[in-house]
């Protein structure tokens, strides 16, 4: 491939990535951005638990039960559940590539239990 074609491909790819970045920033979610970020953190924790072969289902059920106590519509609740699962899938490969020590696993368990206790108090 000659230098000119390589440059054209490079700039086409750069333009594509730039446009994707703009589109991602403009994406409208049916819930506030701060809640989207909170759901992402919760889902990533659940995916880490999955990879470490920990039972994360009670954590997820507590999470969703707590979301249902908020003033969300049914459409928003459906989005939250789907987004949670989507984030797990999105980060799965990246999180599987990491090694989790016994102390990492204890931290993951502790974080899930901490969240569940917090929910039970409310």
* Calpha distance 16→10 (Å, rounded): 10
* pLDDT at residue 15 tops 50: no
Higher pLDDT, 50 or 116: 50
- Percent share of the chain, pLDDT over 70: 77
- Asked whether residue 19 falls in the same domain as residue 61, the answer is no
Q: pLDDT-based confidence at 80, cuts 50/70/90? A: very high
How far CA 72 is from CA of 4, 39, 79, 101, 105, in Å, comes to 53, 14, 10, 38, 33
Same domain, yes or no, for 112 and 72? yes
pLDDT at 12 over 60: no
pLDDT at 28: 80
Residue 69: domain span = 31-121
Does 46 share its domain with 100? yes
Residues 73 and 44 in one domain: yes
Average pLDDT (81-93) is: 95
Do 65 and 9 belong to one domain? no
């Amino acid at each position: 491939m000659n230098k000119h074609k390589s440059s054209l491909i490079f700039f086409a790819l750069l333009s594509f990535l730039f446009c994707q970045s703009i589109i991602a920033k403009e994406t409208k979610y049916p819930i506030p951005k701060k809640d989207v970020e909170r759901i992402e953190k919760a889902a990533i924790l659940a995916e880490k638990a999955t990879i470490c072969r920990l039972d994360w289902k009670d954590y997820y059920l507590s999470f969703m039960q707590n979301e249902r106590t908020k003033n969300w519509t049914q459409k928003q609740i459906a989005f939250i559940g789907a987004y949670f699962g989507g984030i797990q899938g999105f980060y799965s490969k990246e999180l599987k590539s990491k090694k989790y020590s016994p102390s990492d696993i204890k931290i993951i368990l502790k974080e899930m239990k901490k969240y569940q206790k917090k929910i039970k108090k409310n």
